Amino acid sequence: MSDPVVRTPAGPVLGEAFEHGTVFRAVPYAAPPVGELRFQPPAGVAPWTEIRDARQVGATAPQSAESSELLPNVMIAGDDYLHVNVWTPDVSGSAPVVVFIHGGAFVTGSNALSGYDGSTFARDGVVFVSVNYRLGADGFLWYGDGVANLGLLDQVAALTWVRDSIAAFGGDPESVTVMGESAGAMSVGALMTMPAAQGLFHRAIMESGAGHHSISPAGALKVGKRLASALGVAATRDAVAAADLGELIAAQTKVSAQLGKSPFRRTWGDVATNLMPFEPVIDGEVLPQLPIRAIENGAGREIDVLVGYNTQEGRLFFAELPDRGLKTRLVTLVISRLFGLGRKDRAAYRSWAANDYETLVALLTDAVYRIPALNLAEAHGRAHVYRFSWESPALNGRLGASHAMELPYVFDNLADPNWKALLGGPGSQSIATQMHAAWIEFAKTGTPGWPRTRPDASRWSSATAPPSKPTSTHPAEPSGPAAVNPAHVASGRPKN
């Protein structure tokens, strides 16, 4: 099978044939954001005439080299990192398209990770596109002047590229699903409400993230001032741009560590609640308002939505804490106060959980992932909701159905080395087959195979008390051990 050439509006690209189609890597959707283009909205790609070799993995956005065994990271140097990877079953076809936005707390991640290989999507008749975007300060630093949310605007530029170019790769620009995990899912929630993204996609999948993670201009300014202080420069974009890139990445890491050690509202404002210093800013133009509020007011109503969470999300972040003890209870106290929960709320969680650690996991899972997902589904009015509950044996079973655990199942690539430590073993192929098939069906038809939510189902408010079993069962959700489970919707509004 020969490697095909596709002619894009910017120029021809050479792909690599594989068993189920062709993959094109590192195809640019915007110019490198360096020099005069630093801290500017994404600029158009300079056209080329010679065939561009798109068979090698491309550069990744500047970020910390830190990685973990559970969630490996890849770093590849280079300025030309605003690009996409495309897996297509047939360059002459017209297949539905899935555009994937990676997670990483808006400071790490890339489309170079082999765990994000889109071959199985192409195998099942979908064109799969994975996106890089600006991270950290380059993507989300804002002092109140210039254009905000450059990382989100990169994602819009990638979607615009899909609209204008994907037909050449065998994709249907009138059938585009945006899929994201964690920070990527939070990005999807923002994209649903952004004026610049309107009409660029038709379906949305949000895994462990919804519409609650954006900060005020005042919060962004607090972060910006701390970053400038860590760098020893003036609190301006120009001053930050002039700093050494390595020193900037180190300063970002320092600011993140400061937030993690003392996440207090009096110090950080609304940034404290989300525990991420670099994230979308509600600037009033690029992002007009907090996405969940915009969705409550009707934004994105025409978009088909699939949103959900894992039952033990918090375990990824607190795996080293003891089951019982002062330290675990202290972290629980801090987290609960950040989300406006009082003594009675904590007592309700403790009455259900087996120990202090499980109380913390349940509380964080609800506050950051479960309740926001259900809020968004209720506000949207016709979303599909899932709950993922397969428990990994990793870390002697302590990892469970943690944050990111659904990824190898969504991609149906349990054997990829990136997922080895997370899965703690071979995983369940039957569940991967089921989950991946549901995502494929949603991309093709707008339904994953179960009914939409019922917005009028049983309600509760997180501001008063959690349900008796916070992450196990709820009157509006199904019970049982299924790993991919349709869930109806309950209300609850965390104070973020």
How many angstroms from the chain centroid is the CA of residue 367?
17
Of 202, 212, 403, 474, the active-site residue reads 403
> Is residue 428 annotated as a catalytic residue, yes or no?
no
Instruction: Give the residues across from 207 on adjacent strands.
Output: 181, 308
Question: d(Cα 221, Cα 217) in Å, to the nearest integer?
Answer: 6
Of 181, 207, 296, 313, the active-site residue reads 313
340 contacts 495 by C-beta, under 8 angstroms? yes
Task: Annotate 320-354 with b (16+ C-beta within 10 A) or e (fewer).
Answer: ebeeeeeebbebbeebbbbbebeeebbebbbebbe
Of 119, 130, 182, 392, the active-site residue reads 182
Instruction: Give the residues across from 178 on adjacent strands.
Output: 99, 204
Closest CA to 137 of 242, 66, 57: 242
DSSP state of 100: E
> Is residue 69 annotated as a catalytic residue, yes or no?
no
Task: Annotate 138-166 with b (16+ C-beta within 10 A) or e (fewer).
Answer: bbbbbbeeeebbbbbbbbbbbbbbbbebb
DSSP state of 392: B
Neighbours of 65 (CB within 10 A): 10
Question: Which residues are within 8 A (CB) of 464 and not within 5 positions of it... i.e. 6 or more apart?
Answer: 345
DSSP secondary structure of 298-354: TTTTTSEEEEEEETTGGGGTSTTS-SSSHHHHHHHHHHHHHTT--HHHHHHHHHHSS
- Going from the C-alpha of 148 to that of each of 207, 229, 278, 288, 444, the distances in angstroms are 25, 21, 12, 11, 34
> Is residue 83 annotated as a catalytic residue, yes or no?
no
Residue identified by tokens 């936005």 is 101
365 contacts 313 by C-beta, under 8 angstroms? yes
* Pairing assessment for the beta strands 384-388 and 484-486 based on DSSP bridges: antiparallel
**Three-state DSSP state, 5:** strand
Q: Which residues are tagged catalytic?
A: 182, 313, 403
